[in-house]
Amino acid sequence: MTTSNTATQSASTIRTYGAVCLVAALAGAAAGIYLAVMDPDVSADRFSFPQGAGEFLTIQVFFVIQHLGLLLGLLALSRTGAVPRTRLGLVGTSGAAIGMVGLAVMEAVAITARDVAVDSTTATVVGAGYGVVSFALGVTLIAAGLAIARAGAWQGWRRWVVLALGVWVFFPMFPALATMTDGARIAIAGWMLLFAALGAALMRDASPRVS
């Protein structure tokens, strides 16, 4: 296989993964808004709020699959020429991909808390798990974003989208999550829209990294 054919296939993969990331992110944003506006089926002291246990299980399975779509976007990002071959860039992109795997795992683990109260031991452990994984994901996205912004291969809004993804984790998402209100779900929906922007950036410029 020629170098040209290899580059063409790599660019096609990047565009495809970017498209999947875009669709998954928009679906995640829609789910977040739905959860924020739906009429609650249970009281606010239940971990599954605002859904009952059955609906909660269903949407958590959806979130696991949806997060894998976001993972494809991060994997595609690591293959683009936008990420420099620096320690910051490599650690940031690989760490973010691992963090997204961890977040998908936490979405599955959260199913175990579908019947418990928010102040139960199970809910506390699950919440702590979400916090640790989200923190790690935020840090690694910021690292990757800084590397991309410094390299300057992407210009305009694309240059800053990954950095924005990392910063969003710490503000406004973490403060909103601490309030345990509908604002937290809106903040997560906003994060998903940034992932949609990442998907669009990958589709717009699918230039593979030159080895």
Residue 211 is assigned to a structural domain of this protein = no
The yes-or-no verdict on residue 3 having pLDDT over 70 is no
Predicted pLDDT at 210: 60
Q: Which residue has the tokens 């605002």?
A: 50
Residue 71 is assigned to a structural domain of this protein = yes
Task: Output the DSSP codes for 156-198.
Answer: TTHHHHHHHHHHHIIIIIHHHHHHTSHHHHHHHHHHHHHHHHH
Q: What is the model's pTM? A: 0.95
Confidence at 6, pLDDT banded by 50, 70, 90? low
Confidence at 5, pLDDT banded by 50, 70, 90? low
Confidence at 182, pLDDT banded by 50, 70, 90? confident
Predicted pLDDT at 211: 52
Predicted pLDDT at 4: 59
φ, ψ for residue 166 (rounded to 5)? -70, -45
Cα–Cα distance, 128 to 134 (Å, whole number):
10
Task: Output the DSSP codes for 125-146.
Answer: HHHHHHHHHHHHHHHHHHHHHH
Cα–Cα distance, 191 to 195 (Å, whole number):
7
In this structure, are residues 141 and 91 in contact, taking their beta carbons and an 8 Å threshold?
no
Q: What's the chain's average pLDDT? A: 93
In this structure, are residues 162 and 18 in contact, taking their beta carbons and an 8 Å threshold?
no
Residue 12 is assigned to a structural domain of this protein = yes
Q: What is the pLDDT of residues 126-170, one digit of tens each?
A: 999 999 999 999 999 999 999 999 999 999 999 999 999 999 999
Q: What is the pLDDT of residues 39-94, one digit of tens each?
A: 999 999 999 999 999 999 999 999 999 999 999 999 999 999 999 999 999 999 99
Residue 209 is assigned to a structural domain of this protein = no
Residue 23 is assigned to a structural domain of this protein = yes
Cα–Cα distance, 125 to 70 (Å, whole number):
25
By residue range, what is the domain housing residue 60? 3-204
- Count the domains in the chain: 1
The yes-or-no verdict on residue 2 having pLDDT over 90 is no
Residue 35 is assigned to a structural domain of this protein = yes
Residue 162 is assigned to a structural domain of this protein = yes
Give CA separation, 50 vs 27, 37, 118, 205, in Å. 19, 10, 12, 40
Residue 99 is assigned to a structural domain of this protein = yes
Look at residues 130, 60, 136, 132 and name the one whose alpha carbon lies nearest to residue 97: 136
Confidence at 95, pLDDT banded by 50, 70, 90? very high
